[in-house]
């Protein structure tokens, strides 16, 4: 008798998530007999949930807001990249019940960017808005590109300074939140990693009227798929990248960690996901 392989995503309140659609599609495609579930987990139930998933034989789980940082003390091991980022989005549970935290957000963010646009102005700095785990992922990924430097701006300047100090390798510059409009005008790539613009949150206010015409604007928010920021960018004729691809490519890296198979973002999956937004 084959034992079903179980995986899940945990978060709070986790009312909307596309992860089950993505992973169950890949499980079916690659002959993995199992199921991927969504499990709402309140912050005060995080530790007990990790123990429960271990006890019930899950192969692993994804971690989304607000648990990406809070989960670290409850895991047995943390992969170096996740340790550097200070956040975990993927957990593997091995046959002995040992939990290891990984972070595939940076892989997904850069892969989505590279597959969505042929190029962007690399003679200009990139601007990262926000200072959470996704901002660290963006910074680490973009620092590997041949850019003069990466600017980071956050409403709380101290958080941006911490990101620059911990992952910037001397090539990150902190820009005051009040100066974000000017920073945007000098950037070749603008990446929103905040929740501003997500359903239920106010829009991100960034003036793009002075941005270069070859600037690329990337919003990791994907609910809605076309955020107010991307609408604003399109109005100025700028190229845009949605956050849906990042979700898929970070999920692919997680699937590889659990099942040792790298799945593809095929047309069938693309159609299923885009249908959600029609």
- Residues 6 or more apart whose CB falls under 8 angstroms from that of 18 comprise 222, 244, 247, 273, 276
Catalytic residue among 5, 38, 52, 68: 68
Structure tokens at 272: 């299923």
- Strand pairing class (90-93; 60-63): antiparallel
C-beta of residue 128 within 8 angstroms of C-beta of residue 152: yes
Count other C-beta atoms under 10 Å from residue 181's C-beta. 14
Main-chain dihedrals φ then ψ at residue 122, nearest 5 degrees: -90, 5
End-to-end CA distance of the chain: 41
Beta bridge partners of residue 39, listed in sequence order: 10
Q: How many residues does the chain have?
A: 278
Active site residue 68: yes
Residue 1 CA: distances (Å) to CA of 4, 6, 33, 129 = 9, 15, 11, 50
Closest CA relative to residue 192, chosen from 147, 232, 149: 232
Look at residues 77, 175, 164 and name the one whose alpha carbon lies nearest to residue 127: 175
In whole angstroms, give the CA distance from residue 120 to residue 254: 27
* Residue 227 CB burial class (10 angstroms; 0-12, 13-18, ≥19): buried
Please, which residues bridge with residue 127 across strands? Answer: 151, 190
Residues acting as catalytic residues: 68
């Amino acid at each position: 008798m084959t034992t079903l392989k179980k995986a899940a995503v945990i978060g709070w309140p986790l009312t909307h998530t596309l992860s089950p659609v993505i992973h169950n599609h890949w499980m079916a495609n690659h002959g993995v007999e199992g199921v991927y579930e969504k499990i709402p987990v309140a912050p005060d139930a995080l530790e007990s949930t990790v123990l429960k998933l271990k006890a019930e034989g899950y192969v692993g789980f994804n971690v989304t807001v607000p648990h990406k940082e809070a989960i670290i003390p409850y895991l047995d091991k943390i992969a170096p990249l996740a340790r550097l980022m200070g956040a975990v989005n993927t957990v593997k549970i091995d046959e002995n019940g040992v939990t290891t935290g990984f972070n595939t957000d940076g892989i997904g963010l850069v892969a989505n960017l590279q597959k969505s646009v042929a190029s962007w102005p690399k003679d200009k700095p990139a601007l990262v808005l926000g200072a959470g785990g996704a901002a660290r992922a963006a910074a680490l990924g973009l620092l590997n590109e041949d850019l003069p430097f990466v600017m980071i701006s956050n409403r709380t300047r101290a958080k941006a300074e911490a990101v620059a100090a911990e992952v910037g390798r001397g090539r990150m510059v902190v820009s005051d939140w009040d100066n974000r409009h000017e920073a945007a005008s000098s950037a070749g790539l603008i990446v929103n990693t905040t929740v501003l613009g997500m359903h239920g949150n106010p829009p991100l206010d960034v003036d793009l009227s002075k941005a270069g015409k070859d600037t690329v604007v990337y919003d990791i928010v994907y609910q809605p798929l076309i955020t107010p920021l991307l609408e604003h960018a399109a109005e100025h004729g700028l190229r845009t990248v949605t956050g849906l691809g990042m979700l898929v490519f970070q999920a692919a890296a997680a699937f590889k960690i659990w099942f040792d198979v790298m799945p593809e973002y095929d047309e069938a999956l693309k159609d299923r996901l885009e249908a959600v937004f029609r």
